[in-house]
Structure 1
Amino acid sequence: MSDEPKGHRRAVLVALAANVAVGVSKLLGFLLTGSVALLAECLHSLADSGNQGLLLLGARRARAAPTQERPFGRGRERYFWAFVVGLILFGLGGVVSIIEGVRKLGDPSHGVDHAAVALTLIGVAALFEASSLRVGVRAARRSIRPGAGLWQGLRESRDPEVAVVVYEDTGALIGLALAASGIGASALTDNGVFDAAATIAIGMLLCGIATRLTIEMHSLLIGEPATALDLERIRSAVSSVDGVASILNLRTEHIGPDDLLVCVKVAFSEPVDFDGLIRVIDEIEAGVVAAVPATLTCYVEPDRRDSRRIGKVWT
């Protein structure tokens, strides 16, 4: 089982450090100004910090060696904890922010004090978030297929940590912009309704990001095949082995981001003796692992070429 890429771990650690620093600055801003938009952003950072901790926990548990009880290891731990991250972001960050914003919306006495201080703190927080996002984007571009755009690549990627970091940091920057707009408008008009409305908007933003993350991680938990690029590499590696007549069927599933299960049904050139069969199977397995290093296990089932059997389900 391959180790978690170091770039991904660094992206999570940088995001964790940034969220702790940002969360402290937002909390100070809320205490000084009474802005519920800053309180919503503080909850956002608190949720994000917990999320990074869960991602690190999942990555550490996923590195456990296979056992008799779990012969394919615990690679899906990374998907599970990323799924939990989405739920926490939705519940703690989004729903609570919306509730607080609605509550303050009906409070005519609500206002924002020391708006300049709040906006300064938001600017500092934006610098931290932008730095974290930069690291996350760099790590993401190393893991997505060549030629794919960032967002398309993240949707196709089987790595949960970088996707979570990029989504969270992007959402954080948008949330800071919403908070700044609400605080600035409230200060200019002396009407706290804008601050409350910004809080609701931040909550809706967090719920949207959390929903997207939860859907993607749910799909990965259920099981997704290799990417189109890896499937092409596997087919090429198998077809290039001397003695392979054709690929009758190919199935793959990600047990974890870096752990791929490959099952291939192959028609062999005839005639072939037993020793030749073993040789071809060994070469197929070695070729697949060389072409796609994430391959955890490759199973090869030999068969004879028969057009009636191509693409059929087999056991």
Structure 2
Amino acid sequence: MSANGGTKAIVAALLANVGIAVTKFIAFLLTGSSSMLAESIHSVADSGNQGLLLLGGKRAKREATPQHPFGYGRERYIYAFIVSIVLFTVGGLFALYEAYHKWSHPEPITSWQWVPVVVLVAAIIMETFSFRTAIVESNHVRGNQSWVKFVRRAKAPELPVVLLEDLGALVGLVFALFGVGMTLITGNGKWDAAGTAMIGVLLVAIAIILAIETKSLLLGEGAEEHDVAAIERAVTDGPEVERIIHMKTLYLGPEELMVAAKIGVPACDNTEKLARDINTVEARIRAAVPLARVIYLEPDIYNPAAAGRAGAVRSEAGSDEVSERAGS
């Protein structure tokens, strides 16, 4: 993902949410609408979340240290996970609490009745521009993936987070407009509470989705299948390597992939030639997948008989485990 694209989307969302939060809170003070209060807190939480994403991006650029030899790239995942927690607690749970309170003690909107409608329509317009910016920046890196696949598989968390937040904000504004509108039409404050509850459920659902996806990134994800295939072709596309014995990949951060592989090489007594061959293979890997910046290649002599015995041992161990489970 383009880091600049992610930053642009975050800044656009931050500016929109700060302005929206101020207008929503003024509307709440004038009308006492619970939907407006829930949306005010929602926008404040979103503004804080965008600040967290910007902070995570800045801290992730720190140089590697002896204590953190692979750098701080994963800080972007940590701050994205914190965002999901903030959205769940400050946004979702607060809205559900406010909905319960207003349902128990419904209050019609009796003063400044036109204010919440005007504010919500203006907020929808501003949020639409923010959402459009996130879509445009995401399309630069999304390729042919569906939106669901992009959110689930993106290694850089900022754009998926902003996309889901902006989508949630737009839908939440529609819910708030529904609750406020029905309250104004019927004079029954329970419609306002219902709109607030819908906002709370929406925010909790989005927070759970974000938490699940960022948890996977924090645990460590390997390269996508097409990148793995490209790396394998780069390794074996030359006389230096006979075969890949085994290989593992791991994202150290959104823009840094580690590749570790044991490779079968022809028998050779010349260590200088072996070193040059490994350097050549590493250069091919970096050309094929530029994000592969940390590469460890272990040369070995492939022995089919030894590999067969190792496979048989693994198979036997698996059979024993199955038998133990069946007998337990």
Q: For residue 207 of structure 1, what is the amino acid of its counterpart?
A: V
The C-alpha deviation readout for 1:139-165, integer Å capped at 9, x for no partner, is 222233x32112211211101111110
Q: TM-score, normalised by structure 1?
A: 0.93
2:240 maps to 1:243: yes
Deviation of 1:226 (Å): 1.2
Equivalent positions of 1:26-65 (< 5 A) are 26-65=24-63
Distance 1:245 1:272 in 2: 16
Distance 2:136 2:234 in 1: 30
Q: Do the aligned partners of 2:131 and 2:167 also contact (CA within 8 Å) in 1?
A: yes
* 1:116 aligned residue: 114
Identity %: 39
* 1:262 aligned residue: 259
Deviation of 1:110 (Å): 4.3
Distance 1:109 1:57 in 2: 40
Deviation of 1:17 (Å): 0.6
1:126 paired residue among 105, 124, 127: 124
Distance 2:262 2:110 in 1: 67
Deviation of 1:271 (Å): 4.7
**Structure-2 change in CA distance of 1:75 and 1:215 (3 Å):** same
Deviation of 1:272 (Å): 6.3
Distance 1:63 1:241 in 2: 35
Q: Do the aligned partners of 2:107 and 2:190 also contact (CA within 8 Å) in 1?
A: no
Q: For residue 309 of structure 1, what is the amino acid of its counterpart?
A: A
**Structure-2 change in CA distance of 1:10 and 1:210 (3 Å):** same
Distance 1:25 1:55 in 2: 24
Q: For residue 10 of structure 1, what is the amino acid of its counterpart?
A: K
Equivalent positions of 1:134-173 (< 5 A) are 134-144=132-142, 146-173=143-170
Name the stretch that deviates more: 281-290 or 76-85.
Answer: 281-290
The C-alpha deviation readout for 1:230-271, integer Å capped at 9, x for no partner, is 212211211213321111111111111011111111111345
2:245 maps to 1:283: no
Q: What residue ranges of structure 2 are gaps of 5+ in the alignment?
A: 315-328
Distance 1:265 1:142 in 2: 35
Q: For residue 201 of structure 1, what is the amino acid of its counterpart?
A: M
Distance 1:272 1:237 in 2: 24
> Does the residue aligned with 2:263 lie in a helix, a strand or coil?
strand
The C-alpha deviation readout for 1:251-295, integer Å capped at 9, x for no partner, is 111111011111111111345632221122101211222222222
* 1:194 aligned residue: 191
Distance 2:237 2:110 in 1: 69
> Does the residue aligned with 2:21 lie in a helix, a strand or coil?
helix
Q: For residue 133 of structure 1, what is the amino acid of its counterpart?
A: F
Q: Do the aligned partners of 2:2 and 2:141 also contact (CA within 8 Å) in 1?
A: no
Q: TM-score, normalised by structure 2?
A: 0.90
2:22 paired residue among 15, 21, 24: 24
Deviation of 1:108 (Å): 3.8
Deviation of 1:16 (Å): 0.7
Name the stretch that deviates more: 292-301 or 168-177.
Answer: 292-301
Q: Do the aligned partners of 2:268 and 2:274 also contact (CA within 8 Å) in 1?
A: no
Q: Do the aligned partners of 2:108 and 2:183 also contact (CA within 8 Å) in 1?
A: no
Distance 2:110 2:166 in 1: 26
Deviation of 1:309 (Å): 3.2
Distance 1:220 1:25 in 2: 36
2:227 maps to 1:205: no
Distance 1:277 1:76 in 2: 34
Q: Do the aligned partners of 1:102 and 1:196 also contact (CA within 8 Å) in 2?
A: yes
Deviation of 1:120 (Å): 1.4
Q: Do the aligned partners of 1:263 and 1:298 also contact (CA within 8 Å) in 2?
A: yes
RMSD: 1.9
The C-alpha deviation readout for 1:98-125, integer Å capped at 9, x for no partner, is 0011000011444464343211111111
Q: For residue 174 of structure 2, what is the amino acid of its counterpart?
A: A
Higher helix share: 2
**Structure-2 change in CA distance of 1:275 and 1:181 (3 Å):** same
Q: What residue ranges of structure 1 are gaps of 5+ in the alignment?
A: none
1:74 paired residue among 64, 72, 79: 72
* 2:326 aligned residue: none
* 1:8 aligned residue: 6
* 2:221 aligned residue: 224
